[in-house]
Chains A and B, each alone.
Chain A
Amino acid sequence: MADSLHRASPLPGGTVTLEGATLSAAPEMGRYSLRARDPAALAALIGRELPDAIGACSGGIARLGPDEFYALLPAQDALPSGEGGPVSIVDVSARAVGIVVEGAGAARAIMAGCPLDLDRMQPGRATRTVFEGVEILLVRETETRFQIDVWRSFASWLWRSLAGVNAA
């Protein structure tokens, strides 16, 4: 039964060239919303290290708030359910899709609609923020490469908006 179910991406395929950057769809990924009052209990349960500071991202896990983490993992990686533990581990893989913005002009392209000062965002940082009126999760993977995670229903609008305001 499950073999006949396919997840269709709301993003068009291919790459769009912007001024100094390219826009492409991120591969399918595993996404987990992680909550715990005691991050050490969560780290022990999933067997991974968690970033200490809010806004830090390491090993694919971003710390969004005091008790909230978000894991962006390769599609084949699964986390345990944490059943019975003082944590919440929820698979939200299908909730969002990723858009990769890459190139020397990537930060400028995103700042066209995002109010954060990306000149001050270091690589390895991740945060929830907005692009125009749409909530996004912004991960700065390197100086010139960002991944934007956005809920599916906003994704095609965000893609066209990024492509439109930054048309080369």
Chain B
Amino acid sequence: MLLIHCPYCDEKRPEIEFAYGGEAHIARPHDPSTLNDEEWEGHLFIRSNPRGRHHERWRHIHGCGRFFNAVRDTVTDKFETTYKAGEPRR
């Protein structure tokens, strides 16, 4: 079973307790009404989709309930690190 380190619980916990939350560090537009359609499309749908290090959000939904960020290698599926929401990108 894949174990994921929750930075809030500070424990490795089984993957089944977590929910994936998509790419991390996507900032919402400050003033959405000024965006044109293309910019909206970029914000809502266009993701980096890298081969390798991917910054992504996870939620320990069946645990402490917190969202946090992780760096996972999309080739090996290995987690490089996890860190609390709000902390700078690693």
Chain A interface (Cβ within 8 Å of chain B)? 54-55, 64-66, 68, 115-116, 127-130, 135
Contacts and interface: CB of A to CB of B under 8 A. Distances in A.
B66 interface: yes
A65 B66 contact: yes
Contacts of A129: 13, 17, 62-63
B85 to A, nearest CB: 11
Interface of B: 1, 8-11, 13-14, 16-17, 62-66
Contacts, number: 38
B8 A116 contact: no
Contacts of A135: 62
Contact of A128 (B1, B14, B16, B63): B63
6 contacts: A64-B65, A66-B64, A68-B64, A127-B9, A129-B17, A130-B16
User: Ordered nearest first, which 5 A-B pairs have the shortest CB separation?
Assistant: A65-B64, A115-B14, A130-B62, A65-B65, A54-B9
B8 A65 contact: yes
Nearest to B6: A54
State the main secondary structure of chain A at its contact with B: strand
Given A64-B64, A68-B64, A135-B62, A55 B1 contact: no
A116 B65 contact: no
